Amino acid sequence: MNIKPEVNAARLLASVADFAAIGATPAGGVNRQALGVEDRIARRLLAERALARGFTVFQDEIANLFIRREGKDASLPPLLIGSHLDSQPTGGRFDGALGTLSAFEVLEALADAGTETDRAVEVVAFTNEEGSRYSPGCMGSMAFSGAGKLADWQTTHATDGPVLADELAATLAALPEAAVRPIGHAISAFVELHIEQGPILERENVPIGVVTAVQGTKWLEIVFSGEAAHAGTTPLEFRKDPMSAAAMVIASLQSAIMPADPQARLTIGRIAAEPGSINVIPSSVTFTVDIRHPDAETLAAMERHVRQECETASRHWHCDVAINRRVDMAPAQFASSITETIADTCAALDLKSRPMVSGAFHDALFVSRVAPTAMIFVPCRNGISHNEAEFVSDAHMISGARVLLGVVGSLLLAG
């Protein structure tokens, strides 16, 4: 007899807690950066749980991890659900993990109910979504959707040293149960559940966000090079000071970009000076710029603005400047066929929902280029994310997983 699949709330909450213990930080968050030891432990735990349930486990050449529950017709492209398991260095326990573990809960719920499906359902944990240890972020989903090539990243160094090729090989080898397949198999659709990472849902007391689009992101790495010199003896007119150039650019961008456009985002998240001595004018200063906007043209204009400011500051401070674009993610528009299914599922479950644009980038941004895709957001406390204090209530986690299960059911029925 076939019974209706139901989310097992206690199992989902226990699973989120189990994974939060991997790479746990004293402040209650996680440090489980891409392709590191903790990431491998998390991947192993998920794979072991999958094998124990009789699902198949495989990975692709960039270590995207897939858990497959077979359907009646193995020739049909699978429905893909999931997110990522890697974290920021001082990350929260829900960013990525909640979407991956909710997707796994959906697979278990289908198995508990003995639900037979025509096509297979696969859960994915994409590699290196965060981009904090290896830049760019979303490497796994970029490679999966053809937007980037593994070959271009193999020699990239981690912030803590090792090249990607070595850490990737070690990660793949740490899961010998999972056969390695070529990158980028066909899928019927992709649905990613994620925490909102912003304050809107909580403020409006709405439990589910139906994500219709993702804003665009560019990451620039800017290096000003000057001349190391004595702090005490070098008069102003002799200084080729890259720190002053960097400060000039940062101050000017911060006072111009966001105050002029409420939709624009600008973040300087990392800065380093060489040689880094208190009484030496630096020889070089490197800093990162993260700019975002929902409109591609405006985002391009923001990049031109950054470049102009860098030229002006380099002339003013007699420095050279080099600008490398590390990430260029165009805004994505999600499939209305999927967003409508999400909204209908929320209505059927008597859960309020609202459409929204994601300010964060996600693997779904890239997967949307190769298959109908959309995202489900759940609220997080005070909108805080990329922070160990990130928190999602049990009720919101359970609602999100129930919506995901309902959406999967509808998409499978629709063929």
Instruction: Using CB under 5 A, list all residues that contact Mn ion.
Output: 95-96
C-beta of 137 vs 242, nearer to ligand GLV: 137
CB atoms closer than 10 angstroms to residue 297: 9
Q: Among ligand GLV, Mn ion, none, what does residue 361 contact (CB within 5–8 Å per kind)?
A: ligand GLV
92 binds, among ligand GLV, Mn ion, none (CB under 5 to 8 A by kind): none
Closest distance between ligand GLV and the C-beta of residue 86, in Å?
A: 10
What is the helix (H) or strand (E) element at residue 413, kind and residue range?
Answer: helix 394-413
Nearest CB to ligand GLV, comparing residues 58 and 219: 219
Considering the complex, what minimum distance in angstroms separates the CB of residue 83 from Mn ion? 6
Residues 6 or more apart whose CB falls under 8 angstroms from that of 195 comprise 92, 94, 95, 98, 377, 378, 379, 380, 385, 390, 392
Write the CB contacts of 210 (distance below 8 Å, at least 6 apart in sequence): 339, 342, 343, 346, 353, 354, 355, 356, 374, 376, 377
First to last CA, the chain: 22
Strand duo 79-84 + 284-293: pairing? unpaired
Q: Which residue is nearest to ligand GLV (CB)?
A: 360
Q: Which does 390 bind (CB under 5 to 8 A by kind): Mn ion, ligand GLV, none?
A: none
Q: Does 196 bind ligand GLV (CB under 6 A)?
A: no
Rounded to a whole number of angstroms, the minimum distance from the CB of residue 36 to ligand GLV is 17
How many whole angstroms separate alpha carbon 334 and alpha carbon 353? 16
Closest separation in Å from C-beta 129 to ligand GLV: 6
Query: Which CB, 95 or 122, lies closer to Mn ion?
Result: 95
Between 309 and 363, name the residue whose CB sits nearer to ligand GLV. 363
CB of 172 vs ligand GLV, minimal distance in Å: 23
191 CB contacts (<8 Å, ≥6 apart)?
Answer: 79, 80, 81, 338, 342, 373, 374, 375, 376, 404, 407, 408, 411
Q: How many residues does the chain have?
A: 415
CB of 137 to ligand GLV, least distance (A): 6
Give residues 93-152 in contact with ligand GLV (rule: CB under 6 A).
Answer: 130, 137
Quote the CA–CA distance of 91 and 33 in Å, as a whole number: 9
> Using CB under 6 A, which residues numbered 350 to 369 contact ligand GLV?
360-361
Cross-strand partners of 58 = 66, 179
Q: How far is the CB of 88 from Mn ion (least distance, A)?
A: 6
Residues 236-255 touching ligand GLV, rule: CB under 6 A, are none
Using CB under 6 A, count the residues that bind ligand GLV: 4
**CB-wise, 195 or 243, nearer to ligand GLV?**
195
- Contact residues toward ligand GLV (CB under 6 A) are 130, 137, 360-361
